[in-house]
Amino acid sequence: MFRPTRASVSVMSVFVEQTEFTDPFVFRVVDRDEPHAGPGQVRLRARVAGLNPVDWKIASRPESAAAFGVTLPAGFGNDVAGEIDEVGDGVDGFRVGDRVFASARGRAVAEHIILTVGVDDVRHTPDRLSDDVAGALQIAARTADAALRTAGVGSGDTVLVGGAAGGVGVLVVQLAVRAGASVIATASAGNHDYLRGLGAIPTEYGDGLVDRVRALAPNGLNAAIDLHGIEAVEVAAALGVPGERIATIAAANPPHGARPTGGREAAPGALDEIAALLAEGLIELPIAARFPIDRIDDAVALQRAGHVRGKVIVDI
């Protein structure tokens, strides 16, 4: 499906590059001149990049790339963590050696990344938070918070979460449980014990879901969050949940008055709050698989195929 090549080796800094938006798409692992921080910038020595569905959508769909302002030649990936190894003039609050995580906005899978403070959402990594988790956190945490807020999930609610075992889903489940909600979570059978351990009531997706959810929620549903397609949207509507309490991240124009949402709608401070919960061990974000940078094609193929518990990461 993917056709990685290796450019001739010069020296300096490794970078994953794409020169066309197409599907199947082609990555090149290249060596480029080492970048340096300018005024208002820091240079990140990246350790881990976390993959998200939006990454391969941008890589394979010109319209998605245009929507995110990505032009060719392009890098790949958003979520990244590592340590600062260069600080430009005029930067306050960051020093060489600081562990940080950031939104690299299409440049995450690279050895060195130039980040603009105040633009690329550079944040200090909590002491007890691993680079693996920090490097996979930005999009999943923001999206989870936005979905919960859009659906208005709170104490005493019974909420249906569709696609609950993915990176966003496991955070949604745990945050909803911490908020005092009862969670019915759809996932493949192999993830049921795991979700049960997080405090959810798991069930299979697919045919008969309306009846299964009705049996699991005899007092009815109050809200729903669909993280994969519109199956949970349809089930929630069939069980009487009003559209304003149905959130979806996977459909731009969902039926039944459901509300599309995404990470941009997360509350201020949500990312730091979730990072702190993870650092304290109060919630978790599992790492399903890790790949070296020269196997970026395999990492994307696994993430794109779905059915991944938690996150796929790339070691830089």
| pLDDT value, residue 6 | 39
SS (H, E, C) 246-261: EEECCCCCCCCCCEEC
Q: Calculate the average pLDDT of the chain.
A: 94
In angstroms, the Cα distances linking 308 to 24, 115, 147, 254 are: 21, 29, 20, 24
User: Which of 88, 18, 89 minimizes the C-alpha distance to 56?
Assistant: 18
3-state secondary structure of 179: coil
26 & 124 share domain: yes
| pLDDT value, residue 12 | 61
114 & 165 share domain: no
Q: Is the pLDDT of residue 154 over 70?
A: yes
Element (H, E) at 15: strand 13-17
The model's pLDDT over 35-46, given as tens digits with 9 standing for 90+, comes to 999 999 999 999
Total structural domains within the chain: 2
Helix, strand, coil shares of the chain, percent, nearest 5, are: 30, 25, 45
- Tell me how crowded residue 124 is: count the other CB atoms within 10 A of its CB: 16
256 assigned to some structural domain: yes
Q: Which CATH number fits the domain that encloses residue 129? A: 3.90.180.10
71 & 188 share domain: no
- Tokens 């518990």 -> residue: 309
98 & 122 share domain: yes
> For residues 236-265, b (16+ Cβ closer than 10 Å) or e, as one string?
bbeeebebebbbbbbeeebeeebbebbbeb
54 & 149 share domain: no
The model's pLDDT over 51-95, given as tens digits with 9 standing for 90+, comes to 999 999 999 988 988 888 888 999 999 999 999 999 999 999 999
296 assigned to some structural domain: yes
Q: Which domain holds residue 204?
A: 139-265
Sign of CA dihedral 212, 217, 218, 219: negative
277 assigned to some structural domain: no
50 assigned to some structural domain: yes
